């Protein structure tokens, strides 16, 4: 095998096409600038069809990005996977769908839908919810309640009322003397329910109180709740709106009780796992649920295949085979993966094709640096220094032939909408790149630098009237791929490349046989 390799994933760092709020260019990043100016590099497509999403209007995300990076192939993912199942109506033939529907018809109980209400196509799509609402009416379900999580992250930051109004119009068209559907509760996605990697269980507990117990501030409608909170808290964006409960005669209209059914209509796994644990696991100690209803619970997808979570799911996930890690294990190569909590799952679970367990306990080593439990615009450097400290130690040990690291700064701070903080986050990242570069040169490593999608590169957006507003979503911009190696020269192949071309490039650098199912390498 040739030189050992370090792969650096700069999460959420792309090349801006608009120069609107481009924190990457605005930041002082001498190391990144030096690498781009002095080493072979290309721009990779990190969204849409390149990562298995329906169209090139669909933003990439960290999950599908790391799937593609880690397996060298393009699988139907997320929205595209669900779209295909809904279009074919295969979703409605699954055993879990029948269990969900038959349960409420048998007990004359309520079917609840819970999820992120937007068309961002990162965690969910409102069109999937609408399709299922129409189907359950056809199947003679009598009562439906919807628990909405407000986005403002994968879509414009104050767009919640657009989606609420769209949903209310659909509900109005469906409701009649035999079908009773209504929004029952909600709140911002960064306030309730959608925590990930067990970083803040209080969010999930607050969501449980809101959706299940019907506890919280009461309003007559979701629109009233959103408008009231905006008046009370000037400048607040959708993802940060407090929880609300819809009530009639001062009583919640949609508590979740025994014999009900619940469908989580998010398709992305990371922020669906914890609420699924709360519903699915009888033995549960993360918070006091106070009341644990006996319900039939299903996810749109299975969010963790190894943990079998949830037990019921409506659409089968992509079966990702022949990952880079499998190839390395076959060749007895030691691997090291590290990130902080916010992206730890991406360099492990998603990298390995949605697999929680290691392919080899002997050959794979994972390290998680606990993330701070604060808004990341308050500490935009995040844990970059601590991650780098540990990584440098492992580089100098020469125990591993392939090391990978994810720095979450550009993505997590970019999502806060704070341009100054994101600029700071990029400068902190650049300091880590400088430290890594020095040691990689000294210790004889090839350093590869890339990203999983854009975000920090486009933090403002302009509407058709020319008005500029804060952008908190991922971008559609390309991301870098840089080969840092002073001892060898590389020629870039002709053509365009995406994230799935990274794994075959790594395999080629290591003189490993590239599986026939993979994309082509970037270098000749």
pLDDT tens string 227-260: 999 999 999 999 999 999 999 999 999 999 999 9
Domains (range + CATH), the chain: 5-76+319-360+382-413+422-457+474-509 (3.40.720.10), 79-315 (3.40.1450.10)
**pTM listed for this prediction:** 0.78
pLDDT given at position 318: 79
The pLDDT assigned to 306 comes to 55
Residue 114 Cα distances to 87, 104, 189, angstroms? 21, 16, 12
Name the residues annotated as catalytic.
62
Predicted confidence band at 2 (pLDDT cuts at 50, 70, 90)? confident
Angle between helices 273-280 and 201-211 (to 10 degrees): 60
Greatest CA span in the chain, whole angstroms? Answer: 76
**3-class secondary structure per residue, 232-285:** HCCCCCHHHCCCEEEEECCEECCCCCCCCEEEECCCCCCCCHHHHHHHHCCCCC
Examine the pLDDT at 490 and tell me if it is beyond 70: yes
For the segment 469-485, the average pLDDT, to the nearest whole number, is 95
pLDDT per position as a tens digit, 127-138? 999 999 999 999
Mean pLDDT over 414-440 rounds to 97
Label residue 110 by pLDDT band (50, 70, 90): very high
Asked whether 183 and 246 are in contact (CB, 8 A), the reply is: yes
Residues 293-312: tens digit of each pLDDT = 999 999 999 887 657 899 99
């Amino acid at each position: 095998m040739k030189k050992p390799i370090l792969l650096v994933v700069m999460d959420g760092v792309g090349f801006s096409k608009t120069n609107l709020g481009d924190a990457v260019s605005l930041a002082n990043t001498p190391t990144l600038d030096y690498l781009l100016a002095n080493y072979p590099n290309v721009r990779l497509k990190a969204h849409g069809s390149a990562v298995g999403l329906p169209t090139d209007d669909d933003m990439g995300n960290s999950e599908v990005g790391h799937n593609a990076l880690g397996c060298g192939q393009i699988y139907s993912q997320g929205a595209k996977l669900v779209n295909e199942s809904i279009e074919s109506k295969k979703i409605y033939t699954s055993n879990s769908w029948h269990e969900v529907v038959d349960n409420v018809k048998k007990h004359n109980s309520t079917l609840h839908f819970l999820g992120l209400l937007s068309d961002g196509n990162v965690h969910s799509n409102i069109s999937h919810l609408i399709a299922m609402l129409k189907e359950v009416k056809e199947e003679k379900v009598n009562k439906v309640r919807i628990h909405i999580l407000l986005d403002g992250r994968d879509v414009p930051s104050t767009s919640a009322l657009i989606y609420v109004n769209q949903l209310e119009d659909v509900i109005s068209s469906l409701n009649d003397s035999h079908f009773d559907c209504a929004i029952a509760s909600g709140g911002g996605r960064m306030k309730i329910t959608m925590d990930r990697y067990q970083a803040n269980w209080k969010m999930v507990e607050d969501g449980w109180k809101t959706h299940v117990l019907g506890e919280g501030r009461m309003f007559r409608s979701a629109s009233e709740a959103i408008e009231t909170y905006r008046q009370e808290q000037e400048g607040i964006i959708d993802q940060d709106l407090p929880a609300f409960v819809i009530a009639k005669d001062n009583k919640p209209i949609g508590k979740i009780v025994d014999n009900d059914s619940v469908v989580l209509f998010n398709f992305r796994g990371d922020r669906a796992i914890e609420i699924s644990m709360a519903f699915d696991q009888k033995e549960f100690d993360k918070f006091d649920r106070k009341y644990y209803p006996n319900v039939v619970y299903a996810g749109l997808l299975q969010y963790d295949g190894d943990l079998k979570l949830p037990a019921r799911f409506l659409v089968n996930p992509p079966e990702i085979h022949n990952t880079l890690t499998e190839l390395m294990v076959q060749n007895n190569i030691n691997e090291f993966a590290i990130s902080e909590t916010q992206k730890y799952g991406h360099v492990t679970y998603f990298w390995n094709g949605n697999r929680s367990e290691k392919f080899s306990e002997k050959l794979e080593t994972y390290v998680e640096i606990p993330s701070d439990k604060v808004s990341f615009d308050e500490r935009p450097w995040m844990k970059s220094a601590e991650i780098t400290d540990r990584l440098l130690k492992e580089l100098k040990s020469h125990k591993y032939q392939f090391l990978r690291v994810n720095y979450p700064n550009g993505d997590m701070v970019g999502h806060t909408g704070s341009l100054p903080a994101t600029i700071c986050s990029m400068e902190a990242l650049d300091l880590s790149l400088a430290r890594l570069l020095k040691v990689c040169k000294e210790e004889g490593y090839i350093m590869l630098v890339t990203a999983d999608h854009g975000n920090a590169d486009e933090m403002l957006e302009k509407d058709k009237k020319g008005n500029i507003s804060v952008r908190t979503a991922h971008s559609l911009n390309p991301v870098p791929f840089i080969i840092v190696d002073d001892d060898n020269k590389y020629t870039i192949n002709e053509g365009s490349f995406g994230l799935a071309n990274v794994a075959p490039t790594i395999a080629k650098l290591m003189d490993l046989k590239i599986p026939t199912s993979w994309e082509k390498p970037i270098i000749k």
